[in-house]
Amino acid sequence: MKYLQVIIFFLSNFCYSQNFKSFKNGEIELFYEEHGKGPALYILTGGPGAPPDDPSYLIIDSLKSFYTCVVLHQRGSGRSRNIPINSQTINIKSYLQDIELLRQVRKDKKIILAGISWGGLLAMNYTALYPQYVSKLVLICSAPPSYKVWDVLADNQYVRRSVNELDSLNALIKIFSVKTDRELDSLKHVDPSGKEVIAFKKFIAIHVRAMFYDRNKLPANFDSLFIEFNFQPIPFIDKEVLETKWDITEALKKLNVPALIMYGRQDDQGESTFFLQKECLKNSEMHVIEKCGHYIWEDQRAEFYKILMNYLVERKIRL
């Protein structure tokens, strides 16, 4: 299990909404939600495997008077969680097909794509494939557009850890690695007090703390977040990106879609990731939030929403 590389995508909580609709990609049924009114704004949250509501519901509360906010429950997460998890179902191409099928089902001629972390990777790739359907691109602490900086995350997280934390990680992984990803995911629900689950939770908590500016912090909803996150898809995407040398930088350079790039100065993705996005997206603007890690909506909430609202609402009103 290679969680060091992509634990950055641990971004969401369980869903409270009952406003579910569904569509199919082949045999796989996928769910989505709609909130608000106005032009379509698709929110792609973290993962792969993260529950789709946090921070999307907070974003929706700010934007639903101006946009129809569409939250896709990505394959393997939320209401779309219970699917076979293997290389045939969990791959970038399939996630992108899901987004395009959703657009067709909703009959949206143009959409705004807001991608958070792993969702940013999907948003960039979808825009590269279907630029005619994307009116704006919003990247929030987005994953990189190339395998070439994929290892920066693991390196940055490693140097942030004390010797004691590294020792703890090594000790914990020996306990929970006796179980497969599928077994661990099941145990979280049926035996949350089991020793393997407790060790796994402590392991994840060490990783997540490295994603905040304040290393003593955890998300307020960490307990439910841990239970609802489906970690099974992560190794498949990690393997695909590295083995196929996944890279969309040249495709992004051909785009003229307006884009907003937002990130925290201390995000463990590394600033090379965000400058690469800026270099590739010629019609983009970048905003860096100081004293801020990957959880920018928690580390610096006021500044995060100020930037987001200015880009998506205030400019729209002025126009």
pLDDT digits (tens, 9 = 90+) for 143-157: 999 999 998 988 988
Q: How far apart are alpha carbons 234 and 274 in whole angstroms?
A: 21
CB 89 within 8 A of CB 69: no
Q: Phi then psi for 198, rounded to 5 degrees?
A: -60, -40
Domain locations in the chain as residue ranges: 3-152+237-318, 154-231
SS3 call for 216 = coil
pLDDT value at residue 3 = 42
Reported as a pLDDT band with limits 50, 70 and 90, residue 18 is low
| Average confidence (pLDDT) over 231-250 | 97
Rg (CA), the chain: 18
| CA–CA gap between residue 45 and residue 54 (Å, rounded) | 8
| Per-residue model confidence as pLDDT tens digits over 213-240 | 998 899 888 999 999 999 999 999 999 9
> In CATH, which superfamily holds the domain spanning 3-152+237-318?
Alpha/Beta hydrolase fold, catalytic domain (3.40.50.1820)
Beta-sheet pairing, 20-25 with 28-36: antiparallel
Q: Which two tokens stand for residue 55?
A: 């921070």
User: What's residue 143's pLDDT?
Assistant: 96
